[in-house]
Amino acid sequence: MQGLMQDWPLLVSTILDHARINHPEREVVTRTVEGPIHRYTYRDLHGRAKRCAKALGRLGMRQGDVVATLGWNTHRHMECWYGIMGSGAVCHTLNPRLFLDQLNYIVNHAEDRFLLLDVSFVPIAEALQATCPTIKGYVILTDRAHLPETKLKNALCYEDLLAAEDESFAWVNVDERSAAGLCYTSGTTGNPKGVVYSHRSNVLHALAVNNADMLGLRSVDAIMPIVPMFHANAWATVFAAPMSGAKLVMPGGKLDGESVHQLLEDEAVTCTAAVPTVWLGLLQYLETQNKRLTTLQRVVVGGAACPGIVMEKFEEKYGVLVLHGWGMTEMSPLGTVSSLKPNQAKLSRAEQMKYKLKQGRAPYTVEMKIADDAGKELPRDGKTFGHLLVRGPAISKAYFKGEGGQILDQDGFFDTGDVATLDEEGFMQITDRAKDVIKSGGEWISSIEIENLAVGHPGVAEAAVIGLPHPKWDERPLLVVVKKPGAEVGKAEILSFLDGKIAKWWMPDDVVFATEIPHTATGKIQKRDLRERFKDHKLPGVV
Ligand code: AMP
């Protein structure tokens, strides 16, 4: 017998329609790239997204076209996002932090038809123009008053285009499995690969993200996604916010501690999300300026492991709940959040922290398992390390144009490239990226855990641990430290700070000080570069 329910297509446009009908007056506030604060409502966003769809259609955008954006988190980027997807075209977010040759490869690989960009990214587009012939036109996301001088051919002014249209546009009724978004992974090995989101996967993922144990956005919330839209859909907040009716606060390109704090307070933000480096910046600002957080209730930390000190400061000093999240571009991106379960509420604070600092547990829609090198499933005992594999309706089954070939195992699981443990409660903890693991005497040492402890030292701004070859143990850890400005701290002090916090054999064999640590375009430590930089470093006792 068949069920007799409607086939209501899970299209991204239904999310904005929902916000328009149910939360028309809820605000969308942006710190614009040009500077001033802009505010309007979901009703306005809906109307302008339709104008944008009409304008792009008039320029020649067709269903199935790939249209690129180079933009910060702003209301205009949101309008383009929904305008493109609502036209049945594919919104391709480009990461402006990538090297030009990577962007060049990506634009040509994706065959982007148009590029919509913020004023601040005009120089990047100019540099790409000659080698990216698929781009037929550039739209600069600003008004006539702020339009810069540019060498871009066919550059158009976004506000002029919108002013010429009305809102009478019917969203295109595509198949819910058709492509809506495209985002290339940062590609630490080989060329970047395109992750293709469908309307269906975006809607299902946003529903999962709005679970109470995940981000759980509600209409009473004000969410500020600091994580960029070009980093995996701003962790789905761009869908989850209008779906819930939460006020949306877009920070533009100013992500320093002071600017972030000002928006959090002025706009009464209750929930926000970013990578740990942003939070370290904010916490430092709060401490040095003696500021408080008066409205913030939860802060999502992800993209890299949350250092204990970040969780401790937010929760104990500022009374803000930390949700440690893990995910990846291929997972839309959220895979886990470390929300405590009722039995853990009875544990001591120290025991709770152990769980909260793990990467967390999966919502319905994400299945996880760990496996050995041969693909055999390993026990969920919280101790055994293995390759972390995932399966679900918002997880990639292939990369764009078949790059990378077959990426699923025989049971349909995708290998995340992370090495992790899973415990009986369903909590997952990442040890390392598989390519960064340190193997000493046949056992794995978690670089992430040592790094996150090291940044707990008051003189340490950032830390990275890499494995160096060792004649007896195969590899031994080297700790690379960037000191806080003015801090006086030496090797012996750092090692004694770590003493007792980690197993003796995890203790780094050496500590070196550096002025900076290299990062990828999505803010992760570039271990490959560090290994190259220190490849001739002699660990003590090694000749
Ligand atoms: P991306 O696709 O750029 O978002 O990168 C995904 C990768 O970032 C994951 O496979 C992890 O290696 C890493 N990552 C994301 N969140 C966390 C986290 N909370 N802790 C440790 N690593 C993380």
Cβ pair 340, 356 in contact under 8 A: yes
Ligand 1 binding pocket includes 333 (Cβ within 6 Å): yes
Interatomic CA distance for residues 503 and 309, integer angstroms:
20
* Atom of ligand 1 minimally distant from the CA of 329: 2
Query: What distance in angstroms lies between residue 241's CA and the mean position of ligand 1's atoms?
Result: 22
Query: What distance in angstroms lies between residue 390's CA and the mean position of ligand 1's atoms?
Result: 14
- Lowest pLDDT segment from 52-61, 195-204, 443-452, 458-467: 443-452
pLDDT value at position 356? 96
Half-sphere exposure of 193 (CA within 13 A, CB side): 19
Ligand 1 binding pocket includes 522 (Cβ within 6 Å): yes
Label residue 388 by pLDDT band (50, 70, 90).
very high
Cβ pair 174, 199 in contact under 8 A: yes
- pLDDT of residue 186 exceeding 80: no
Q: Given its phi and psi angles, is residue 82 left (phi above 0), alpha (psi -120 to 50 degrees) or beta?
A: alpha
Ligand 1 binding pocket includes 305 (Cβ within 6 Å): yes
- pLDDT of residue 187 exceeding 80: no
Question: From atom 20 of ligand 1, which residue's Cα is the shortest distance away?
Answer: 305
Label residue 536 by pLDDT band (50, 70, 90).
very high
* 434 or 324, which is more confident: 324
CATH number of 365-433: 2.30.38.10
- pLDDT of residue 372 exceeding 60: yes
Interatomic CA distance for residues 326 and 288, integer angstroms:
30
* Atom of ligand 1 minimally distant from the CA of 333: 4
Query: What distance in angstroms lies between residue 430's CA and the mean position of ligand 1's atoms?
Result: 9
pLDDT (tens digit, 9 = 90+) per residue, 41-99? 999 999 999 999 999 999 999 999 999 999 999 999 999 999 999 999 999 999 999 98
- pLDDT of residue 523 exceeding 90: no
pLDDT value at position 465? 95
The CATH class of 12-197 is: alpha beta
CATH number of 438-533: 3.30.300.30
Ligand 1 binding pocket includes 430 (Cβ within 6 Å): yes
pLDDT value at position 338? 97
Query: Where does the chain hold its CATH 2.30.38.10 domain(s)?
Result: 365-433
Question: From atom 4 of ligand 1, which residue's Cα is the shortest distance away?
Answer: 328
Contacts (Cβ under 8 Å, ≥6 apart) of 114: 56, 59, 61, 65, 67, 68, 135, 136, 137, 138, 139
Ligand 1 binding pocket includes 311 (Cβ within 6 Å): no
Residue with tokens 């506000």: 159
pLDDT (tens digit, 9 = 90+) per residue, 216-275? 999 999 999 999 999 999 999 999 999 999 999 999 999 999 999 999 999 999 999 999
Number of other residues whose CB lies within 10 A of the CB of residue 317: 13
Residue with tokens 């204990």: 308
Interatomic CA distance for residues 211 and 362, integer angstroms:
11
pLDDT (tens digit, 9 = 90+) per residue, 407-443? 999 999 999 999 999 999 999 999 988 888 898 888 8
Query: Where does the chain hold its CATH 3.30.300.30 domain(s)?
Result: 438-533
Q: At what angle do helices 12-22 and 199-209 cross, to 10 degrees?
A: 50
Smallest CA-to-CA distance from 285 within 261, 264, 309 is with 261
**Residues 130-153, mean pLDDT to the nearest whole number:** 96
* Atom of ligand 1 minimally distant from the CA of 416: 10
Ligand 1 binding pocket includes 233 (Cβ within 6 Å): no
- pLDDT of residue 319 exceeding 70: yes
**Residues 278-306, mean pLDDT to the nearest whole number:** 96
Interatomic CA distance for residues 139 and 214, integer angstroms:
36
Verify cis geometry, omega within 30 degrees of 0, for the bond prior to 333.
Answer: yes
Contacts (Cβ under 8 Å, ≥6 apart) of 2: none
Ligand 1 binding pocket includes 418 (Cβ within 6 Å): yes
As given in the structure block, the two tokens for residue 387 are: 């390759």
Cβ pair 491, 459 in contact under 8 A: no
Give one DSSP letter per residue of 336-392, joined into a string: EE-PPPGGGGGS-HHHHHHHHTS-BBPPTT-EEEEE-TT--B---SSS--EEEEEE-
Interatomic CA distance for residues 194 and 30, integer angstroms:
29
By three-state DSSP, how is residue 120 classified?
Answer: helix
Query: What distance in angstroms lies between residue 131's CA and the mean position of ligand 1's atoms?
Result: 32
Q: For Cα atoms 87, 333, 237, give the angle at the middle one, nearest 5 degrees.
A: 65
Question: From atom 6 of ligand 1, which residue's Cα is the shortest distance away?
Answer: 328
**Residues 296-320, mean pLDDT to the nearest whole number:** 96
- Lowest pLDDT segment from 189-193, 276-280, 292-296, 416-420: 189-193
Question: From atom 7 of ligand 1, which residue's Cα is the shortest distance away?
Answer: 328
pLDDT value at position 520? 85
Give one DSSP letter per residue of 298-350, joined into a string: EEEE-SSPPPHHHHHIIIIIT--EEEEEEE-GGGSSEEEE-PPPGGGGGS-HH
Give one DSSP letter per residue of 251-290, joined into a string: -BT--SHHHHHHHHHHTT--EEEE-HHHHHHHHHHHHHHT
Mean pLDDT over the full length of the chain: 95
Query: What distance in angstroms lies between residue 234's CA and the mean position of ligand 1's atoms?
Result: 14
Query: Where does the chain hold its CATH 3.40.50.12780 domain(s)?
Result: 12-197
pLDDT value at position 200? 98
pLDDT value at position 437? 86
Ligand 1 binding pocket includes 125 (Cβ within 6 Å): no
Sign of CA dihedral 465, 332, 33, 62: positive
**Residues 323-345, mean pLDDT to the nearest whole number:** 97
pLDDT value at position 188? 56
DSSP state of 538: P
Contacts (Cβ under 8 Å, ≥6 apart) of 285: 256, 257, 258, 260, 261, 291
Residue with tokens 């050496």: 510
The catalytic residues are: 185, 330, 439, 444
Question: From atom 22 of ligand 1, which residue's Cα is the shortest distance away?
Answer: 304
Interatomic CA distance for residues 347 and 131, integer angstroms:
59
Ligand 1 binding pocket includes 91 (Cβ within 6 Å): no
Interatomic CA distance for residues 348 and 62, integer angstroms:
58
Query: What distance in angstroms lies between residue 303's CA and the mean position of ligand 1's atoms?
Result: 4
- pLDDT of residue 189 exceeding 80: no
- State which of 324, 328, 525 you would mutate to test the pocket of ligand 1, scoring each by most atoms of that ligand within 8 A of its C-beta: 328
Query: What distance in angstroms lies between residue 338's CA and the mean position of ligand 1's atoms?
Result: 14
Interatomic CA distance for residues 490 and 337, integer angstroms:
36
Query: What distance in angstroms lies between residue 204's CA and the mean position of ligand 1's atoms?
Result: 21
Interatomic CA distance for residues 505 and 477, integer angstroms:
10
Ligand 1 binding pocket includes 339 (Cβ within 6 Å): no
Ligand 1 binding pocket includes 302 (Cβ within 6 Å): yes
Ligand 1 binding pocket includes 78 (Cβ within 6 Å): no
Interatomic CA distance for residues 159 and 144, integer angstroms:
7
Query: What distance in angstroms lies between residue 325's CA and the mean position of ligand 1's atoms?
Result: 9
